[in-house]
Amino acid sequence: MKMKRKYLLKSTIRTAKFSRLIAKAIDLFIAMILAILQYPFSLLLALVYIALKDSLYGGQSVGKKLIGFSVISLEDGKPCSVKQSIIRNLPILIPLAFAIIPPWGILVFFILIVPLLLLEVYLLFKLDSGHRLGDVMADTTVMGNDSNRVDIRKAQETWFNNDAKNMSPANKSTF
């Protein structure tokens, strides 16, 4: 009996994309709670959280940490930097910044956030790479946390560090 492998692969990718949406929803829920604590001052705290969330904990926001994802740079494979986190979250930050100005800013927020979130979800599911608009803008990607990958990374760092410690003084000067 033959199995439809393409179907299994597609359903796994779809599940991962839905998991990304759940992680994003957790982060947006945290930002919403921060924003309504003492409006409009706490909205600044929500803006800071949204801007920096993907550079925390080695590329993991609270939602990504709970779901098991991390954001890495496509430039060098390292965890998302602060600059990349700000850039990849601009589609949320720009509308949220308008919400600081009551009452019209809140209206502009809702007018901008709905199409931008729909665009993000559309791109997430339609692009083969699974990137959303923020990923394309910041040159980042989201990866599932794999404990083997972390162990390999630590082993490589240890390997390089041990070589530097065990080198003769003549070879150290060439670095």
Evaluate if residue 98 carries a pLDDT over 50. yes
Q: Residues 4-58: pLDDT tens digits?
A: 545 445 667 778 888 888 999 999 999 889 888 877 788 889 999 999 999 988 8
pLDDT band with cut points at 50, 70 and 90 for residue 148: low
Angle (CA) 56-141-68 rounded to 5° is 55
pLDDT at 154: 45
Assigned token pair, 51:
């801007």
Domain ranges for the chain, please list them: 8-144, 146-175
Q: Kindly report the average pLDDT of the chain as a whole number.
A: 79
Helix (H) or strand (E) holding 70: strand 69-73
